[in-house]
Amino acid sequence: MTRSLTARQAELLGRLEALFLAEGFGHFTLDDLAARLHCSKSTLYALAGSKEQLAVKVVGRYFKGAAERIEERIAPLSDVRKRVGSYLAGAAEELRKASERFIRDVADFPPTRATYERNARAAADRIREFIQDGVKQGVFREVHATLFAEMAGLLIESIQTGVLTKRAGVSDAEAFTALGELLLDGLQRDSQRELRGRA
């Protein structure tokens, strides 16, 4: 079983997360981190056995926290269209906390990249659930929900890695807004398109 953290350890992990998000983690040594956090190396070793394990722990904490905050954001929403839009807006908001160096370090280190890929997969799974719910409710037209979700997942990954945003010259937030519009426009029933066209 995982040992529960002390208040001091939880506070240190929070500070490490903020530091990593702002500056990345690949270039730091444990000595650097101990100096920046004004603690001993033994205090850091109590959190993880190495700098690499510490990076995995902190990156996992960030993604877990982001997922929980996004779920809290959409929990009160019953309209599936609003849930899709709010989910993607929440993802954009969470990503704005991460520097390019952090995203690059996550992608360059296989264990943290695996965490990152699980996060992207979970996002695609949630979008598939939204699409399936919308189809059942008659809000969205009949579509191949898994295909739409996989396409959305690939776009999310391209946004998170910076590939899409650099090519398009837009921010992460703008890219997620556009993805939401693309999804919702593509999922609308013909009657909804007609009504909007007459407005």
In the chain the domains, ranked by start, together with CATH numbers, are 56-198 (1.10.357.10)
pLDDT tens for each residue of 137-146? 888 877 777 7
Q: Report d(CA 34, CA 26) in Å as an integer.
A: 15
pLDDT tens for each residue of 40-70? 999 999 999 999 999 999 999 999 999 999 9
In terms of pLDDT, which residue wins out, 151 or 24?
24
Task: Classify residue 95 as exposed, middle or buried by CB count within 10 Å of its CB (0-12, 13-18, 19+).
Answer: buried
Q: Are 30 and 41 in contact (CB under 8 A)?
A: yes
pTM of the model: 0.82
Alpha helices in the chain (DSSP H): 7-23, 30-37, 41-45, 51-74, 80-95, 100-108, 110-137, 145-161, 163-168, 172-187, 190-198
Please state which of the ranges 10-19, 66-75, 84-93, 155-164 shows the lowest mean pLDDT.
Answer: 155-164
> Average pLDDT of the chain?
86
